[in-house]
Amino acid sequence: MEKLTISTNPHIKDKDNVNKIMWFVVLALLPAAIAGIYFFKTKALLTIIVSVISAVLTELLIQKLTKKEITIKDGSAVLTGLLLALVLSPLVPWWTTMLGAIFAIAIGKMAFGGLGHNIFNPALAGRAFLVASWPALMTTWLLVDGTTGATPLGLLKLEGIKTAYNPLLIGSIGGCIGETSAIALLIGAAFLFYKKIITWEIPATYIGTVFIFALIFRQDPIFHILAGGLLIGAFFMATDYVTSPLTRNGKLIFGFGCGFLTIILRLFSGYPEGVMFSILLMNAATPLIDRYTKLKPFGYRKPAKEVKE
């Protein structure tokens, strides 16, 4: 006769685990990484290598010093390092990349208790640290012909020049290493949907909100979707399990907030891009969103009010 095992929930478990999910996302980012290396050559490759190695070694060192379980095999540090590299200019010096990766892991992740406890997306926290510390280095862009120049969003904001769709789709433009090729990012996103790593709520609401408000403000919505970091942000950063809401309604609110803030920052702030700040701001709002979109337990009944005698 088999013994019954009594345990806490969850009782129904998925075959996927943290390791598999992290490495699947890394795999989904490879098309964007390859496109970045193709267009920006060794500068992009060096940035990716330095960022990933710095992130992994930082997590390893902190876990050694704090005598915690070594978890670098789960791929989360590799993912953070890769994401950070892909949202950096290929002209960023190696030491700046290294400091960004150290901040992303040490402050953005481990200071909160490690994977599953961080409030903000670690890669974006690392990038925000670099933007605040070295704004000039973080806003110098390499074009595919080897010269420096503005990104498509910068050209639109500063000179009123709109880049054609084809360069935005292919990636033959200036910008961050992993955000220039829309086709490469869409291939990676399709893989994540196929593997059911992400769901439609946040990306669709995020991109849809940008589309609608671009029309309201008489902007080209397709341009705003393809240009800048919207696609990498919507599919690979806003969908982070730890820093985004748990419920469907919460995800819809989160996606709307990211989209609204992105288009507002792009059009009315002094910075031509708004993806990083919008996601970080909505990360901060996630606990509140979760609180007010919490689902009622199955079979829950509101207790009857006590009758005063």
pLDDT in tens, 9-54: 554 555 667 889 999 999 999 999 999 999 999 999 999 999 999 9
Helix (H) or strand (E) holding 141: strand 141-142
Percent of the chain with pLDDT over 90: 74
C-alpha 197/C-alpha 193 separation (Å) is 6
Pick the more confident residue, 168 or 308: 168
Average pLDDT over residues 274-294: 94
Q: Give the pLDDT band of residue 116 (cuts 50, 70, 90).
A: confident
For the chain, give the mean pLDDT. Answer: 90
Domain coordinates in residue numbering, the chain: 18-292
| pLDDT tens, residue by residue, 153-182 | 999 988 888 899 999 999 999 899 999 999
pLDDT higher for 100 or 157? 100
What pLDDT shows up at residue 131?
95
Which tens digit of pLDDT belongs to each residue from 222-254?
Answer: 999 999 999 999 999 999 999 999 999 999 999
Q: What pLDDT is stored for residue 160 in this prediction?
A: 86
Topology (CATH level 3) of domain 18-292? Ammonium transporter fold (1.10.3430)
Among 86-95, 179-188, 291-300, name the one with the lowest average pLDDT: 291-300
| pTM (two decimals) | 0.89
For residue 11, what are its two tokens?
A: 């009782």
SS3 state of residue 241 = coil
Judge if the upstream peptide bond of residue 10 is cis by omega within 30 degrees of 0.
yes
Whole-number pLDDT of residue 219: 94
Is 70 exceeded by the pLDDT of residue 103? yes
Q: Where are the alpha helices (DSSP H) in 143-245?
A: 152-159, 165-170, 182-194, 201-216, 221-226, 230-232
- Per-residue pLDDT band for 128 (boundaries 50, 70, 90) equals very high
pLDDT for res 91: 94
Compute, in degrees rounded to 10, the torsion defined by CA atoms 199, 200, 206, 210: 160
User: Among residues of the chain, what percentage have pLDDT more than 70?
Assistant: 90
User: pLDDT-based confidence at 4, cuts 50/70/90?
Assistant: low
Question: What's the pLDDT score for residue 71?
Answer: 82
- Residue 307: pLDDT band (50, 70, 90) is very low
pLDDT value at position 309? 46
**pLDDT, position 159:** 87
Could you tell me if 96 and 71 are in contact, meaning their C-beta atoms sit under 8 angstroms apart?
Answer: no
Mean pLDDT within 200-216: 97
Both tokens of residue 149? Answer: 């120049």
